[in-house]
Every structure is written in C-alpha cells, then in structure tokens.
Amino acid sequence: MNPDTPLQLLGGISAREFLRDYWQKKPLLIRQAIPDFQSPIDPDELAGLALEEEVESRLIIENGERPWELRRGPFAEDEFSKLPETEWTLLVQAVDQFVPEVGELLEHFRFLPSWRIDDVMISYAAPGGSVGPHFDNYDVFLLQGHGKRHWKIGQMCDTESPLLEHADLRILADFQGGEEWTLEPGDMLYLPPRLAHWGVAVDDCLTYSVGFRAPSAAEVLTHFTDFLSQFMSDEERYTDADAQPVSDPHQIQHDALDRLKALLAEHMGDERLLLTWFGQFMTEPRYPELVVGPELDDTELLDSLEQGAVLIRNPSARLAWSEVDDDLLLFASGQSRLLPGHLRELLKMICAADALHFDNLGQWLADDDGRNLLCELVKQGSLGFADE
C-alpha cells in the first residue's frame, strides 16, 4: 500500500498525513469514510450474539435499578423485552471474531500494524442511550453503522480526572464539552487516547468501535521480566568480585547500583528475546479457547488441499512476523517459531491469509519447512479449513 495515496477512509488524506497529524494526537471527523455503508449486522443479530456464552457483552441502563446500571452478558432473550424505551446501550466485544463481514472491515485499517488492533466492538443504543462521558486509554475509530449518534468531545484526561462513584464504570464527573457532531451511517470519528468523549444516540443506532491496544509500561516490564526469568539459572546472581573495603558496613554504596544496572542492562538489552516476547505477547488471542485445531499430519493436509480445501486464518487467532539476522520469526496466537529465511513470502501470505489453497500455495507444499509450518498452524488452530 502506498502511504501517500489519499484514502477515502481518512477523508481524503493519506496514511502518512494521518499518522503525522492525528494518530495519538488529535481527533478527526470523517464524513462518509465508508460511503453508503450498510451495517453487516442489524440490532436483532447483535442482541442474538449477546445471548451466546462465548461472547462478551454488557448492558448499560442510564436510569436502571441505580444510575448507570451495568449488567454483564450472556443475556436471556426476555431481558431485552423488559428494557425501557430509551436510554440504554448494549455493547458487544470482538464482533469481528464472530461475524466475518465485520472482520472484513478491518481491511480498511491495513495502514496500521494489525497487532495494534484489538477488536471491533459494536454498540446498539436506544434513543438517548449513552455510556456516559468518559475517556479510554486506547485509540479508537467510531464508525456509525445505523441511525444517528451525537458525539461531543471534551478535555484530555488522565488518572487524576475526577470520576463518578461507580464500582465498574469510569464515567467522568466533569465533562468540558468542546466540538460536537452528529454522525450518520458511514461517518467516522477518530479519537486519540485519553480524550474525553460522549456519544448519545439520536435514534436507534449502531456504532462500530475499532479499538486499538497498547500494553501499559507496567505490563511490558512485568511480562517481559517474567519471560526473561525462564531463561536464567539460579546460579546467575549479583556478583561483586571487584568489591573494595567499606568504611561503613551498613551503607549501600553506589557501586552496588552500578553492578545491578549492568545486570539489568545485559538482560533487558537482549533484542532477540525482547522481540520474541513482544511478538508472543501481542499475538495472544483474546479468547484462547477459540484457537484450537485438529490432529493432522502432512499427508492429510496435502490431501485436503488437493481436493480443494481452503485454509483461512481463524478469526480468533492473531498472526505477525519479524526477522532476526537471516532467520524469520512467526508469531501465531501467543507462540513463536524460528523459521529459515526462504519462507518469507509464505509467512506474508499466511499472515494476510485471506485464503490459502492448492493453487496459491503451489511450490510451498513441496517445501518441507513450508508444508510442516502450515500443518503446525492448522494443528494449533491459528489456521483452519474454510467452510464449504
């Protein structure tokens, strides 16, 4: 993709301009980001998903049993019929994993790394429905799917920003409204992290939130050091073979800190392990129980493909790749695999994985490493056979 091509999705600016001027910096309203957008899912289908055990859903009722009542799914069918006429919202997470047409929307966002994308949450709101003024720690693109929603943006927030007292929701006690817009189907609003926003349904409305993910600094440190510690022996310790006589035995001298810093730097600076950890961490699936595959061997895989089977990425799987020296690393749903450099084009195909079949896999099926990799990914559940 040429980063300088003007994109309709971004209101006619290029990916390069968007990243330079807006990404993580300031909001952008895009009228008709997806012209004539027809929501691939309707409110009834969304409510249907919220009945399912494996789907994460929430209901927020502004004037429920208490203000901003939160209920968690899965819901029973009759729960929806008992709701008031107005001022409630149903939120369903990761709809992209359950409805392929919703997953396809993510194709529009290929100018950003796929491992930064979290999920497509869809919310349905009755007239007047909202989840209150709030801020998120993530970037989000809010695409209007059906009906109209009125958005107000406010101030930049942080952990000090006062919130209403609520056990589960982070609703701002103080919203300093700025610009506001009414979004219609196909319109989209980009919001950077920590910008206060408040969207209220004008009529029955569906809003798609394409959410991004970024690990917190605390997560990076705790998870990476946990990962590193698996490779360390108990014998490797703080050492001070260079110690000098001390004048006061109770004082911790700064040379001790220097030795600690050297020990930390040696391990934290291991780029290969950092990359391995990061790729594994960023491809961990949201729902690992949905990434499981069948027992299969090379021959069975080859037979299936010869008979016309098509492999696609499991919508619950996450894939990414990188390079180390002359080798390649494939990250698949929290696992990593070191692979020979000649598989580069296959890795790219697998990660894009719209459809892998006998014809486009061609030579790779004759390559032992390639065939073996495909087989392992099917067994792991990251790739699966498309339904006929």
Give whichever of 18 and 135 is closer to Mn ion, judged by the CB atom: 135
Q: How far apart are CA 175 and CA 270, in angstroms?
A: 44
DSSP state of 329: E
Burial 245-274 (b: 16+ CB within 10 A, else e): eeeeeeeeeeeeeebeeeeeeebeeeeebb
Minimum distance from residue 112 beta carbon to Mn ion (Å): 18
Instruction: Tell the burial category of 205 from Cβ atoms under 10 Å away from its Cβ (0-12, 13-18, 19+).
Output: buried
Minimum distance from residue 117 beta carbon to Mn ion (Å): 16
List binders of Mn ion among 299-338 (CB under 5 A): none
Q: Quick check: 139 binds Mn ion (CB under 5 A)?
A: no
Give whichever of 214 and 220 is closer to Mn ion, judged by the CB atom: 214
List binders of Mn ion among 119-138 (CB under 5 A): 136
Q: How far apart are CA 238 and CA 259, in angstroms?
A: 7
Give whichever of 119 and 376 is closer to Mn ion, judged by the CB atom: 119
Minimum distance from residue 167 beta carbon to Mn ion (Å): 19
Give whichever of 148 and 371 is closer to Mn ion, judged by the CB atom: 148
Minimum distance from residue 158 beta carbon to Mn ion (Å): 15
Give whichever of 135 and 364 is closer to Mn ion, judged by the CB atom: 135
Minimum distance from residue 199 beta carbon to Mn ion (Å): 8
Enter the tokens of residue 105: 């929307």
Contact 204, 127 (CB under 8 A): yes
Minimum distance from residue 156 beta carbon to Mn ion (Å): 14
Q: How far apart are CA 207 and CA 65, in angstroms?
A: 25
Q: Sheet harboring 335-339: ordered strands across?
A: 319-324, 327-332, 335-339
Give whichever of 87 and 136 is closer to Mn ion, judged by the CB atom: 136
Minimum distance from residue 140 beta carbon to Mn ion (Å): 6
**Closest by CA position to 120, among listed 303, 324, 286:** 286
Contact 122, 6 (CB under 8 A): no
Q: Following CA atoms 327, 331, 335, 341 in sequence, which dihedral angle do they give, to the nearest 10 degrees?
A: -20
Give whichever of 123 and 314 is closer to Mn ion, judged by the CB atom: 123
Give whichever of 130 and 380 is closer to Mn ion, judged by the CB atom: 130
Of all residues in this chain, which one has the CB nearest to Mn ion in the complex?
136
Minimum distance from residue 138 beta carbon to Mn ion (Å): 9
Helix, strand and coil content of the chain, in percent to the nearest 5, comes to 30, 25, 45
Who contacts 374 (Cβ-Cβ below 8 Å, separation ≥6)? 301, 311, 350, 356, 361, 364, 365, 383
Give whichever of 169 and 202 is closer to Mn ion, judged by the CB atom: 169
Tell me the CA distances in angstroms from 310 to 249, 367, 387, one per residue in order. Answer: 71, 18, 8
Task: Compute how many residues bind Mn ion; rule: CB under 5 A.
Answer: 1
Minimum distance from residue 48 beta carbon to Mn ion (Å): 24
Binding site for Mn ion (CB under 5 A): 136
